[in-house]
Structure 1
Amino acid sequence: MFTTDGRTLCATTTIGVRRAALTAGGMVLVWTFVCGCASAGCDSTAGLQANAKAKRRSVRRRFIAWILRSKPREVPGGAAAALGRRFFARTGGRSGRRSTTLSRLHLKVIYNPTAGRGKARRWVREVEETLRARGARADCEPSTGADDLVRIAAESSRAGYDRVVVMGGDGTLNLALREFDLAKGTLALIPTGSGNDFARVVGLPRTIREACDVVLNGRVREVDVALANNLRYAGVAGLGFDSEVAEFANRNVKFLRGSAVYLYAILRVLPRFTPRRVRIRSENGSRNETIMFAAVGNTRQYGGGIKITPDAEIDDGLLDLCIVHETTRLELLKTLPLAYTGAHVKSPFVEIGRGRTFHFEGEQPMAVYADGEPLTRTPVEFAVCDEKLKVVVPRIGD
């Protein structure tokens, strides 16, 4: 057993062996050594003493071999790269799989310095070091604005990279997707945004190192891309109260993160909101309605976990519709928390549907937001893109 000072003594009078537990550099090394046999305490036969000596020599050899194996070997790329390679080779990354080979992927890493209240800027060095330590070639480039990010992503998707890695949240992903070459490019995402709803839907891990492991070792999955007036989006688009909340959050909320942003914006926008008259057209016909808001989902959630279209599938070739018809502000406020579990669809003034296209036209133009970003205005036609997005996701079982 160990004593409180980190040492233990175990002795046997038969072979006179003492074991000392030594703590060095945070690791406990058990070193067995020989003290010698006292004639007064050892009545063993010569054969037993010979066996004890042989065991002691074996212990010393194993200890020396362990030390030699533990010493980091010099490898190209410096000490940090060597340690990174040793760590991932032993642990196999997030999934625990043992990996004995380094990645040879050529990556383009694009990051929005303002994503996640500046998280992407702070973490890009860790991403770069982690990827390069695993043997990947990583070309990092920051964007200077929305248009610049669209341009960089589009050019990178056609430049022959194995992966175009986007660091950011749903808004950054939305911009990267706008002109991305779906036929040539493969997209990977390291979630560093405020909501990260798309990342949650496809099962991406939240830590930088685990997300980097998916970038290098994940599988490529083809998913749907939604369109609003032929402009792409990945998750959920909305109009009416929904878009006014997103607009308020983008312009005025700088001190909160995640779902708290949208909850705060809801409370600020709701008192002055009035229902909207719209004309809705789909494969099933057209009608006029008075609504609080409408959401068209390629995925099931937005706003940091609000499951507004809870049954949406990202690869079924269809869009899911949620219409919240006219109701009182109090009823709307009572129903919105239910959307975190998808239970809002049971409310009598909530309508859900599914189809390939939906058309909305309002008496007055309304803003349409998608993935938390301003996208277009009504009249708006929602549809599914003919091409799929190739995105890197965790392997099944990870």
Structure 2
Amino acid sequence: MRTLIVFNPTAGHAGQLEAELEAAAQVWREQGWVVDLQPTNGPGDGRCLARQAAANGYELVVAAGGDGTINEVVNGLVGSQTMLATLPLGTMNVWARELGLPLQPRAAAQTMLAWSPRTIDLGRAGDRYFLLMAGIGFDAAITANVRPDEKRRFGALAYVVHGIKEVMRIRGTRARILLDGRPIKARVLMIVVGNSQLYGGLVKITHRASIDDGLLDVCVIKGDNGINAIGHLIAILRRRFSLNPDISYYRVHTIEVITRPPLPVQVDGDPIGTTPMRFSVAPAALRALLPPDLPDDLIQQPPPSARRWPQRLLAWLRRRRVEE
């Protein structure tokens, strides 16, 4: 398999792990894969490198970095036949955790030898695709304030510190939300639009999401202030938010969010702008290398080997008839 590893030399502890990337590449080379490594030089570079790799006939592009690096690679691969995989080197590594991938690159490479390509959905926020989720409001404000050097030095703690600051000043914002064209109005603290389930590597806010069902899962968290936000956070951590009347859950194809004043928006951990913004599902937009044992609620289509089994049986029966 012709493979390009696109790595972010500033993600997490990536500077210390280039030897690990070579070790991971060697695992694949021993299986006959042709593996090249290419560093990113700045924002948007991962998207360009992935798009070039798809145009140049690479079968697999591996995003080695955090979820931001994966997002850039996804935006370069969308609509192509080139597959996505990841070697986790970032702060949160949500996609790797969602798939149950080891967080050590060599072990991850070894694990992926047993994986197979499958087609999955993406979300779209404006003109930016996302693999995991989009956040509007509270979490996007935190994301916008965490500097890259803080992520490298403090990891997830940087988000906690900025989250505490944001809780002290957050206020509910009037929002008009169109869910497949159906309007609702609410005073919101945060909206999560999920293509997958795991949020921040910790909890499953969009806990019914499936990555191949052609839908986006939307969690609208209402409230007036930081006290409400803390209460809702506790409910989410205790997995009792379905009983909270201020937390509403929907499954839709499109969502439009209009707020006054505008709220920040982030996708896969990267700030991308403010409301108003339209979100939509992009069905079967990406090929990805996935494990065969994903939970049934996360992915609905059986793995390729299972889908081919009836065809293999028919082929065997035809051979038997010819032999007889």
Moved more, 140-149 or 322-331: 322-331
Pick closer, same or farther for the CA change 1:386–1:299 going to 2, 3 Å: closer
Residue of structure 2 aligned with 1:164, choices 47, 50, 61: 61
In 2: Cα distance, 1:263 partner to 1:313 partner? 28
The CA deviation string for residues 292-323 of structure 1, in whole angstroms up to 9 with x for no partner, is 11110011122222322111111111111111
Structure 1 residue 247 corresponds to structure 2 residue 181: no
Q: Secondary structure at the match of 2:204?
A: coil
Q: What's the secondary structure of 2:190's corresponding residue?
A: strand
TM superposition shift of 1:251: 5.7
Question: Is the Cα contact below 8 Å between 1:276 and 1:292 reproduced in 2?
Answer: yes
Aligned-pair CA distance for 1:227: 0.3
Q: 2:220 aligns with which of 320, 323, 334?
A: 323
Identify if the C-alpha distance between structure 1 residues 250 and 117 changes in structure 2 by more than 3 Å, giving closer, same or farther: farther
The AA in structure 1 aligned to 2:204 is: K
Which of 280, 289, 313 does residue 177 from structure 2 map onto?
A: 280
Aligned pairs for 1:1-398 (under 5 A) are 105-118=1-14, 121=18, 123-250=20-147, 253-254=150-151, 255-258=153-156, 260-283=157-180, 285-340=182-237, 342-396=239-293
Distance 1:251 1:336 in 2: 25
CA contact (8 A) 2:197 2:210 kept: yes
Q: Which amino acid aligns with 1:107?
A: T
CA distance in 1, matches of 2:186, 2:198: 24
Contact 1:214 1:392 in 2 (8 A): no
Give the aligned CA root-mean-square deviation in angstroms: 2.1
Determine the C-alpha separation between the residues in 2 that align with 1:175 and 1:323: 26
1:114-164 per-position Cα deviation (integer Å, ceiling 9, x unaligned): 112436545322223333234321111000012211100111122212211
CA–CA distance in structure 2, aligned partners of residues 120 and 156 of structure 1: 23
Q: Describe the SS at the equivalent of 2:57.
A: coil
- The change in CA–CA distance for 1:214 and 1:251 in structure 2 (over 3 A counts) is closer
Matched residue SS, 2:192? strand
Contact 2:119 2:284 in 1 (8 A): no
Q: Is the 8 A contact 1:228 1:376 kept in 2?
A: no
C-alpha distance 250-354 of structure 1, shift in aligned 2 (>3 A): farther
The CA deviation string for residues 232-280 of structure 1, in whole angstroms up to 9 with x for no partner, is 000110111121011123467333224x343332112110122211111
Give the number of the structure whose residues are more often strand, by fraction. Answer: 2
Q: Which amino acid aligns with 1:166?
A: A
Indicate if the aligned counterparts of 1:107 and 1:137 stay in contact, CA closer than 8 A.
Answer: yes
Q: Measure the CA separation in 2 of the matches of 1:267 and 1:335.
A: 14
Q: How many Å separate the matches in 2 of 1:351 and 1:156?
A: 41
Measure, in 1, the Cα distance between the counterparts of 2:249 and 2:82. Answer: 34
Q: How many residues align?
A: 292
Whole-angstrom distance in 1 between the partners of 2:224 and 2:263:
19
User: Could you tell me how far apart the structure 1 residues matched to 2:19 and 2:155 are?
Assistant: 16
Paired residue secondary structure (1:107): strand
Segments of 5+ residues of structure 2 without an aligned counterpart are 295-324
**Residues 193-217 of structure 1: per-residue CA shift (max 9 Å, x gap):** 1111112223323232231124433
Matched residues in 1 for 2:144 and 2:184: separation? 27
CA contact (8 A) 2:58 2:82 kept: yes
